[in-house]
Amino acid sequence: MAIRLKTRFHTQGQRSPATLASVVAVLAWKLVLESIKRMRKADYDIDPGRPYFDFVCEYLAFLAVCADRVAYRELDEAARVEFTTALAKHLARFVEENNIMLLGEAVPGESQRHFIDLFNRRAADYAEFGYDEKGPDFGFKRYFAACLAEVLPEKDKLWVIDQAMEIEAPESLKMLEKTLAGLFHPEQAKSERRQDVRGSID
C-alpha cells in the first residue's frame, strides 16, 4: 500500500486531540481511496455517483469509529471526546468538499450533514461489538462488511463480505493503528525508530 504515514510532527510540543484528529482524517481519506482502487482491480463495481458516495461514507464512518475505540484506551474521556468530535467533523468536511467528485451534484451542506448523521448512527451500531488491542472482533468486521454490501450491486454483495473482513479492514486498520500509536505515544515511536536504525547498521 503506497501511503505515507505521518506519525510525528517536525516541531516539538504536545498536540491537542483536535490536531491529532486532523492527521488521522487525512489518513482515513487516503485509506478509503486506496481501498476503492484495490476493490476495483478485484472487479467490484463502485460506480461514480451515489454508490461511490455511499461506499466512501460507510468506510470513513468505520475508520472513525475504530479510531475512537483506540482513543478510548489511550486518552482520558475529555480528550477522547475532543478527538472523535474533531475527527468526524474533519471527515464530514472532506466529504462535503469532494461531493461533486463523489456524487456528480449535491446541495451545499447536505453531504456534510449526511456524513455526521451516518457516523452517529454507525457509532451506536458498532457499540454492540468489541474492539481491543487485537482490533475489532468478528461481529464488528462482519457488520462493516454488511454495510458495504448494502451499497454495492447485487453481483458483489456476497463476495464483498470476505473481501471486507479478510483484506480491506485488516489492511486499513494496520495503517490506522500504526499512525495512532505514533501520535498518541510519540516518544515511544521515536525510541523504536532509533532501535530500527541501530539494527540496520549492525
- The torsion defined by the Cα of 185, 188, 194 and 200, in degrees rounded to 10, comes to -90
The Cα 131–Cα 177 span in angstroms is 12
According to DSSP, residue 43 is labeled T
**Segment 128-182, tens digit of pLDDT:** 999 999 999 999 999 999 999 999 999 999 999 999 999 999 999 999 999 999 9
Average pLDDT over residues 47-64: 93
Identify the pLDDT of residue 11: 47
Phi, psi of 132 (to 5 degrees): -125, -160
- Quick one: 109 exposed, middle or buried, by C-beta within 10 A (0-12, 13-18, 19+)? exposed
Instruction: Give me the pLDDT at residue 186, please.
Output: 81
What is the SS3 assignment for 132? strand
Q: How far is the C-alpha of 22 from the C-alpha of 3, rounded, in Å?
A: 16
Give 99-122 pLDDT, tens digit per residue: 887 777 778 899 999 999 999 999
Q: Give the whole-angstrom CA distance, residue 198 versus residue 195.
A: 5
Q: What is the pTM of this model?
A: 0.87
Over pLDDT 70: what percentage of the chain?
86
Q: How do the domains of the chain map onto residue ranges?
A: 17-190
- The β-bridge partners of 135 are 132
AA letter at 110: E
Region 59-80: mean pLDDT is 97
- For the four alpha carbons of 120, 129, 91 and 165, in that order, the dihedral sign comes to negative
What cell does 61 get?
464512518
